[in-house]
Amino acid sequence: MNYLSVLLERLDKIDRAIAKDLRGEIRKITDARDFGLVFAHHVPETVDLPGRQVRTNDKVRVRNDVDTAPWVTANVKRGKNGRQALLVRRGAESAECTKPVADLGRVSYWAAEPQDDAA
């Protein structure tokens, strides 16, 4: 697309109307070409970060939990039974619990934020 832009700039010096029409047509084609496997516009909902230690404010999943909504680690403390994480779930179903860090799944980067129903 970069070389095409250079050519359009050269054409713009010769005939602006044709350059403008071509830009419009190119925009239509590139916008309408989203079919099949399109990776350029795809943002995954979550990305697991294996090997990363659980820290405060990380979004995590609890292993073997049927619910896939993320928990936020409000606090991580060392105790006699290993590291413990205070987990908080915000939103419509607010909840709070304490789980051993060993019971947590991988730390995840959650790209898709929950949407407000009120908006």
111 pLDDT above the threshold of 60: no
Domain ranges, ordered by start, for the chain: 2-32, 46-110
At 48-70, the pLDDT tens digits run 777 788 888 888 877 777 666 77
Q: How far apart are CA 71 and CA 99, in angstroms?
A: 11
For residues 98 and 86, the answer to whether their CB atoms sit within 8 Å is yes
How far does the chain reach from its first CA to its final CA, in angstroms? 38
Q: How far apart are CA 117 and CA 119, in angstroms?
A: 6
112 pLDDT above the threshold of 60: no
At 17-30, the pLDDT tens digits run 999 999 998 888 87
Give buried/exposed letters for 72-97 (b at 16+ CB in 10 A, else e): bbeebeeeeeeebbbbeeeeeeeeee
Nearby residues of 110 by Cβ (< 8 Å), 6 or more positions away: 45, 46, 59, 70
Q: Quick one: which of 46, 43, 66 has its CA closest to 58?
A: 46
Q: How far apart are CA 59 and CA 46, in angstroms?
A: 10
